């Protein structure tokens, strides 16, 4: 049946009796695909019936459907004609793991940072009103987790202020804080709450007896009191939003009925759907940690993930537990990512010293400031791409007060599979402007331990530690030290042709390039700065003794470490040319990390070729390896 679905109109044509079979096919496909490549399995298993109902009631793309976060949009992709590309989900050339405007007109926005959909919906709804497009509706599907983000509540406050704003908000609640309300009376009350005649009657009563507030308050209290008993989550109506629910999100017909009422109301409505994450696949349903939220490749029969190598996050996780045992002032903070960022082991060992603030990076950083003011040393672990959301708080609440807060950036640099929004390619640029901030970038697991310990030992300002996604890089032992920098390779010449500055994992690229350059008769010294902000002044004399400086970083080229090295040398009146190699300032398509690094020229071979050309253009004589020997 799924193969016949080319778009939402095909979904509408199906009879109600056919929908359970369609839902079953979708779940089978989700499990098959995610078993091969990994993906956000649990959230999508939980929204199958909900998504079917949305596309039967609304007219996408005329009625935009916006997903928050976009990782729960797999079923939406299947119902909007993208079955053919689903076998390569998140693979190079295949479908994105998030909504994508390039893929379909049904994907209005490419949102994968949480708590944004309601703001998009607010703006779209206002635009439809201003243009007189009164038949159009905006549907925003937001998970209960995303409602922990403050931006979502800012949007709700604005949406509620316009009583005829054509916005339907579907809250996908897979937390099951209470059971769905069922029965005829509950259904009747839901109908009343989105019935215009009912609202008009209330306004009429209010107008007629407005001078008798006690009577009106009593009538309103009776209405609200009955509703509170049947549906405890009335905080939305306290904001002025109409509320329908809770509805069993796996009862497709009940969802359709609720969505029809919301669609026809003519103003902003919350439809509260209770769903089960991982629904229909027992290994996901019984997965205690996160119902297989985003597994890697796994065995379909058992749900067990295939063996993975030790990753950067594992080293951080182990070392945090050790630090916790040594120092009672060390506390951990996560923004709804306890397991992915490696703080679960710390939480188990020190449950009183871990704080999960929800999807609220801004609050996390200012709360960290408060903890530091109170004598603690907070360690906030977060994906690098999400640090952007808390930049002002890091700048004005942490750095302004010179507070000892350590921010650990996981998935820094090119992340690959999750696409443009998840590449952590901005942090080394935006953090350069923060006064008093120190930034450490480890090149291997041993340096993660070393630099984390140095970071939490700082008492007079904030520190940042950043490392990439994936398997650990091989250990590179230094051959010497230059100030705080590690000397990884020393050129045979006193005046090397090239000084290669390898930032963190890019030190491996520089070592590979140095060997290739050596074969071409180009001498190269390789240093790892370890701390890239502030840069060690010891870099100046070694750069001055070189004919060319090349800075290689897993970050955007603009405003990163390369620019900082150039500035350091300019200020020291050293006019050696500096070449910066990093991520181009564009949004990158999804693919494996190694593939993307190759595409953008961050490999040893690419680097050696470009440096050879640069040396040749400068007319620098190259001594042959034979002559040197």
Catalytic residues: 277, 361, 389
**Nearest 10 degrees: CA dihedral of 48, 51, 52, 53?**
120
Please indicate if the annotation marks 112 as binding a ligand.
yes
Q: Across-strand partners of 556? A: 583
Please indicate if the annotation marks 629 as binding a ligand.
no
Q: Across-strand partners of 142? A: 68, 171
Q: Do residues 172 and 68 make contact, with C-beta atoms less than 8 angstroms apart?
A: no
3-class SS of residue 555? strand
Q: Which two tokens stand for residue 281?
A: 């696949």
Q: Which residue has the tokens 């916006």?
A: 66
Q: Across-strand partners of 548? A: 498
CA-only gyration radius of the chain, Å:
28
Please indicate if the annotation marks 287 as binding a ligand.
no
Task: Tell me the pairing of strands 524-528 and 485-489.
Answer: antiparallel
Please indicate if the annotation marks 211 as binding a ligand.
no
Which of 497, 490, 492 lies closest to 628 in space, CA to CA?
492
Which of 413, 341, 434 lies closest to 381 in space, CA to CA?
341
Q: Cα 183 vs. chain centroid, distance in angstroms?
A: 39
Please indicate if the annotation marks 71 as binding a ligand.
yes
Please indicate if the annotation marks 140 as binding a ligand.
no
Which of 345, 373, 458, 349 lies closest to 407 in space, CA to CA?
458
Enumerate residues 6+ apart whose C-beta is below 8 A from 118: 68, 140, 142, 151, 152, 155, 156, 159, 169
Residue 415 CA to residue 133 CA, distance in Å, equals: 40
Please indicate if the annotation marks 250 as binding a ligand.
no
Q: Do residues 98 and 112 make contact, with C-beta atoms less than 8 angstroms apart?
A: yes
Residue 319 CA to residue 313 CA, distance in Å, equals: 10
Q: Is the dihedral of CA 24, 30, 32, 35 positive or negative?
A: negative
Q: Which two tokens stand for residue 615?
A: 């040396």
Please indicate if the annotation marks 144 as binding a ligand.
yes
Centre a 10 Å sphere on the Cβ of residue 214 and count the other Cβ atoms it contains.
8
C-alpha dist (Å) from residue 205 to 198, 201, 217 = 11, 6, 11
| Secondary structure (DSSP) of 358-413 | -S-HHHHHHHHHHHHHTT-EEEEEEEHHHHGGGHHIIIIIIGGGT---EEEEESBB
Residue 110 CA to residue 127 CA, distance in Å, equals: 19
Q: Do residues 268 and 241 make contact, with C-beta atoms less than 8 angstroms apart?
A: yes
Residue 626 CA to residue 629 CA, distance in Å, equals: 5
Please indicate if the annotation marks 412 as binding a ligand.
no
Contacts 24+ apart (CB under 8 A), 280-288: 280/23, 280/24, 280/27, 280/45, 280/48, 281/27, 281/30, 281/31, 281/41, 281/45, 284/41, 284/42, 284/45, 287/42
Please indicate if the annotation marks 508 as binding a ligand.
no
Residue 28 CA to residue 566 CA, distance in Å, equals: 55
Q: Do residues 483 and 596 make contact, with C-beta atoms less than 8 angstroms apart?
A: no
Q: Across-strand partners of 247? A: 273
In the chain, count H helices and then E strands: 26, 18
C-alpha dist (Å) from residue 118 to 125, 150, 335, 426, 454 = 10, 11, 20, 25, 41
3-class SS of residue 137? coil
User: Known binding site for thiamine diphosphate: residues?
Assistant: 71, 112-114, 145-146, 174, 281, 361
User: Known binding site for Mg(2+): residues?
Assistant: 144, 174
User: Known binding site: residues?
Assistant: 71, 112-114, 144-146, 174, 281, 361
């Amino acid at each position: 049946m799924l193969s016949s679905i080319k778009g939402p109109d095909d979904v509408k044509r199906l009879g109600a009796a056919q929908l359970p079979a369609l839902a079953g096919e979708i779940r089978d496909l989700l499990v098959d695909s995610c078993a091969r490549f990994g993906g956000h399995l649990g959230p999508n298993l939980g929204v199958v019936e909900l998504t079917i109902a949305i596309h039967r009631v609304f007219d996408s793309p005329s009625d935009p459907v916006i997903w928050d976060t976009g990782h729960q949009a797999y079923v939406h992709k299947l119902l909007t004609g993208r079955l053919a590309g689903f076998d390569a989900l998140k693979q190079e050339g295949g479908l994105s793991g998030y909504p994508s405007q390039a893929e379909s007109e049904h994907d209005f926005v490419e949102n994968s940072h949480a708590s944004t959909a309601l703001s998009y919906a607010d703006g779209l709804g206002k635009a439809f009103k201003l243009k007189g497009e009164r038949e159009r509706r905006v549907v925003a599907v937001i998970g209960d987790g995303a409602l922990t983000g403050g931006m979502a509540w800012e949007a709700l406050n604005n949406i509620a202020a316009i009583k005829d704003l054509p916005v339907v908000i579907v809250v996908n609640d897979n937390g099951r804080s209470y059971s769905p309300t069922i029965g005829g009376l509950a259904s009747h009350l839901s109908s009343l709450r989105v019935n215009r005649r009912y609202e008009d009657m209330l306004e009429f009563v209010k107008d007629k007896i407005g001078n008798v507030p006690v009577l009106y308050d009593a009538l309103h209290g009776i209405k609200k009191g009955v509703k509170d008993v049947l549906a405890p989550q009335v905080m939305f109506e306290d904001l002025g939003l109409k509320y329908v629910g809770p509805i069993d999100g796996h009862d497709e017909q009940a969802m359709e009925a609720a969505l029809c009422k919301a669609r026809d109301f003519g103003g902003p409505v919350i439809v509260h759907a209770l769903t089960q994450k991982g629904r229909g696949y027992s290994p996901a349903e019984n997965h205690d940690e996160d119902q297989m939220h985003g597994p890697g490749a796994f065995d379909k029969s058992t749900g067990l993930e295939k063996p993975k190598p030790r990753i950067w996050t594992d080293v951080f996780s182990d070392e945090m537990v050790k630090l916790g045992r040594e120092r009672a002032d060390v506390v951990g903070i996560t923004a709804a990512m306890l397991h992915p960022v490696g703080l679960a082991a710390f939480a188990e060992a020190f449950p009183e010293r871990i704080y999960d603030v929800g999807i609220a990076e801004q609050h996390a950083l200012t709360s960290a400031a408060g903890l530091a003011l109170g004598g603690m040393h907070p360690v906030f672990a977060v994906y690098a791409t999400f640090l952007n959301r808390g930049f002002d708080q890091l700048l004005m609440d942490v750095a302004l007060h010179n507070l000892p807060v350590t921010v650990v950036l996981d998935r820094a640099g090119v992340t690959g599979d999750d696409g443009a929004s998840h590449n952590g390619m901005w942090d080394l640029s935006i953090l350069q402007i923060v006064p008093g901030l120190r930034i450490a970038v480890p090149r291997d697991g041993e340096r993660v331990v070393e630099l984390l310990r140095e970071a939490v030992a700082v008492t007079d300002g904030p520190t940042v530690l950043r490392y990439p996604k994936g398997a650990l890089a091989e250990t590179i032992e230094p051959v010497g030290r230059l100030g705080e920098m590690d000397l990884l390779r020393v050129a045979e010449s006193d005046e090397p042709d090239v000084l290669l500055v390898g930032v963190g994992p890019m030190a491996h690229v520089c070592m590979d390039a140095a060997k290739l350059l050596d074969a071409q008769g180009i001498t190269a010294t390789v240093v790892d700065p370890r701390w890239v902000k502030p840069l060690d002044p010891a870099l100046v004399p070694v750069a001055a003794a070189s004919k060319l400086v090349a800075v290689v970083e897993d970050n955007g080229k603009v405003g990163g470490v390369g620019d900082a090295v150039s500035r350091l040398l300019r200020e020291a009146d050293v006019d050696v040319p500096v070449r910066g190699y990093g991520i181009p300032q564009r949004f990158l398509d999804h693919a494996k990390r190694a593939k993307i690094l190759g595409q953008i020229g961050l490999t040893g071979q690419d680097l050696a070729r470009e440096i050879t050309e640069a040396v040749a253009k400068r007319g620098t004589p190259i001594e042959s390896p034979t002559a040197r020997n």
